[in-house]
Amino acid sequence: MQEIELKAWDYDTEKTEKALKTFATFAGTSFKSDRYFIQQNPPQEELRLRTQKDFKPSAGSVQNGEPEENCTFWVTHKKRFKQNGIEQNEETEFSVSDGAAFEKVLYTIGFKLKRTKEKKTGNWYYQNFHIETVELTGLGNFVEIETVLQNPGQEETAAAKQNLLKILQKCRIDAHNIEEKSYSRLLEEKNL
């Protein structure tokens, strides 16, 4: 599986949301708390353990004024490749039933906590693309656009990258706002 994605700074979130409403379907919000772990010995691979709480917008799920939430734990390992601000990742991801227990296993087998990150997202869908409006604690607002392809060829990958740029344009965000650095790097640069 290959994930092809870009992220861009969003300096006018109202304008972006207004644009999204014209072509994409809103699917709710999420709160994502990420804990990054790194092996203490070579090859020093990194894993992310995400606690994700999803809030669905359906009218039937509201109780006491709060939307029903669903909490899941995801483990992710990525091999990243970047070109012109667009990532093409080989990704392995799976869920675990107990995040705290999995974290304990990581410490036991020689991983240590490297950093944490928290973000609130609005989840939108357009064709086979997932669009997130992101509010990242300590950094600001972004838009992420991604698609997942199964064993893509060069033409399929190139077409997906062009479509990411077209969707960014539909969001009324200039391609100059694309951020090539990872969130982790940006947070490290701000000592967060």
Question: What are 38-57's pLDDT values in tens digits?
Answer: 999 998 999 999 999 998 87
* Distance, CA of 19 to CA of 169 (rounded, Å): 10
Low-confidence ranges of the chain (pLDDT < 50): 60-65
Is pTM, for the whole model, over 0.75? yes
* Distance, CA of 136 to CA of 85 (rounded, Å): 19
Check: CB of residue 133 under 8 Å from CB of residue 10.
Answer: yes
